[in-house]
Amino acid sequence: MVAEESRSHTGACGVGGAFRRGRGARVLPCRMARRRLALIASMLASIPFLALTWRRYRMLAQLSERIDDVLHGERSLDFSTMAEGELAILGSELDKMVMRLNLTADELAREKQALADALADISHQIKTPLTSLSITTELVRKHLAEVPECAEDLERMRRIEQLEIRVEHLVATLLKLARLDAGTIRLACDRVLVGDVVGAAVQPLAVALDIADVVLRTDVADGCSFCGDLAWTAEALGNIVKNCMEHTPAGGTVRITAWEDALACRIRVTDTGPGIAEKDLPHIFERFYRGACDDEAGSAVNPAGVGIGLSLAQSLITAQGGTLTAKNARDDTGRVCGAQFDIAFFRAIV
């Protein structure tokens, strides 16, 4: 009897367990199906967000490209094609900014051109009477030379001629600067040998160097060259050498050294003068700037520079993609032993 009840209970439990296992087997696929549906629904719900994000990134990329065009000189830009929204507002503001920058650039260009034209007109107007004055002065000096009693007046006439030379040089330099500022000078970009530049630069100064009793030494590496304009580079180098000559005492030396390295073609001009005052170094390339030594020398009638030659030299070298810097040369003990000017024409491909 007990055995029968036990078998009966065991049979009932077996049936119940089988029922629970069958129901669990049916519930598991349902749960997996619900999870798949939830995942699909979340993916479908994220599609609009992803599309909007992609669209915003694409619009930002377009804005970035247009701003890059502005930075590279493009002026005819239009941001009005942007759709409505926050980015459209940003594009509109960028459009206004670009238009304002273009207007400002045009105004600056007109002012620059007007200044260059004014300098050119003034220089031309001064050049004509200077030519007549020079001829008249020469005739008067020759007449005074024939009269022994007019030796003092003859010396005055020579000083007047020196001043005329100074003013003529100033007028010629102003004309060159005006042309540079106006962008009317077309600089060549040919392979130029530094030896040819040095020769063309120092040839007009040979007599002046001899009179000043200043020795010129050159040390140019064979084949040293750069891409630029021979004539205008010689003009710039000549102005630097002239400045060094004027600040070198009799018996001194002006040295030109040139070499090439992996980065650039380099030209260095040094002298054995007193060097450049520390307070003058930041202003050495400013137009019409004269240091303390120049002001002292300017008390006498001296046809030396008027503080514009170095400015012209820097403008000419910078226009060719080069650099011009100035500092004091020092010996092994750190003592100033002269001025030093460094020119560098960097290679296009390093």
Do 245 and 214 lie in one domain? The reply is yes
pLDDT digits (tens, 9 = 90+) for 183-201: 777 888 899 999 999 999 9
Do 57 and 124 lie in one domain? The reply is no
Residue 342: pLDDT over 90: yes
- Sign of the C-alpha dihedral computed for residues 126, 128, 132 and 134 taken in this order: positive
Which one-letter DSSP state was computed for residue 83?
Answer: P
Burial 322-340, CB ≥16 within 10 A → b, else e: bebebebbeeeeeebbbbb
Do 37 and 129 lie in one domain? The reply is no
In this structure, are residues 59 and 87 in contact, taking their beta carbons and an 8 Å threshold? yes
Do 209 and 155 lie in one domain? The reply is no
pLDDT score for 12: 46
Do 202 and 174 lie in one domain? The reply is no
In this structure, are residues 176 and 315 in contact, taking their beta carbons and an 8 Å threshold? no
Residue 23: pLDDT over 80: no
Does residue 322 belong to any structural domain of this protein?
A: yes
Do 203 and 177 lie in one domain? The reply is no
pLDDT score for 149: 77
Query: What CATH number corresponds to the domain at position 119?
Result: 1.10.287
pLDDT score for 326: 94
Mean pLDDT value across the chain: 79
For 48-57, 156-165, 235-244, 247-256, which range has the lowest pLDDT when averaged over its residues? 48-57
Token digits of residue 37? 């549906």
The whole domain housing 136 covers 115-182
Do 164 and 308 lie in one domain? The reply is no
pLDDT digits (tens, 9 = 90+) for 268-296: 999 999 999 888 888 888 887 776 655 54
Domains identified in the chain, total number: 3
SS3 296: helix
Over residues 323-329, the mean pLDDT reads 94
pLDDT digits (tens, 9 = 90+) for 130-183: 888 888 888 888 888 887 777 788 788 888 888 888 788 777 887 787 778 777
pLDDT digits (tens, 9 = 90+) for 38-89: 777 777 777 777 777 787 777 777 777 777 777 777 766 555 555 566 667 7
Token digits of residue 242? 């002239």
Token digits of residue 261? 């390295």
pLDDT score for 83: 59
Select the more confidently predicted residue: 7 or 204: 204
Taking alpha carbons only, the member of 260, 255, 234, 258 closest to residue 329 is 255
Does residue 99 belong to any structural domain of this protein?
A: no
Do 162 and 239 lie in one domain? The reply is no
SS3 345: strand
How many CB atoms lie under 10 A from the CB of residue 253?
15
Over residues 90-113, the mean pLDDT reads 80
Evaluate if pTM is beyond 0.75: no
Per DSSP, helices labelled H in the chain are 2-71, 86-145, 151-182, 194-202, 206-212, 230-246, 292-297, 309-319
Do 130 and 262 lie in one domain? The reply is no
Do 36 and 137 lie in one domain? The reply is no
Which one-letter DSSP state was computed for residue 183?
Answer: T
Cα gap 239→5, rounded to integer Å: 126
Do 252 and 281 lie in one domain? The reply is yes
Residue that finishes a domain, picked among 151, 182, 213: 182
Does residue 77 belong to any structural domain of this protein?
A: no
- Most confidently modeled range among 25-34, 215-224, 280-289: 215-224
Do 198 and 220 lie in one domain? The reply is yes
Cα gap 48→83, rounded to integer Å: 17
Token digits of residue 15? 């049936």
2 confidence band (pLDDT: 50, 70, 90) = very low
10 confidence band (pLDDT: 50, 70, 90) = very low
- Ramachandran angles phi, psi of 219, nearest 5°: -145, 90
Residue that finishes a domain, picked among 160, 182, 204: 182
Query: What CATH number corresponds to the domain at position 223?
Result: 3.30.565.10
pLDDT score for 234: 94
Q: What angle do CA 232, 171, 203 make, to 5 degrees?
A: 40
With tokens 């064979």, the residue in question is 222
In this structure, the strands spanning 190-193 and 253-260 are: unpaired
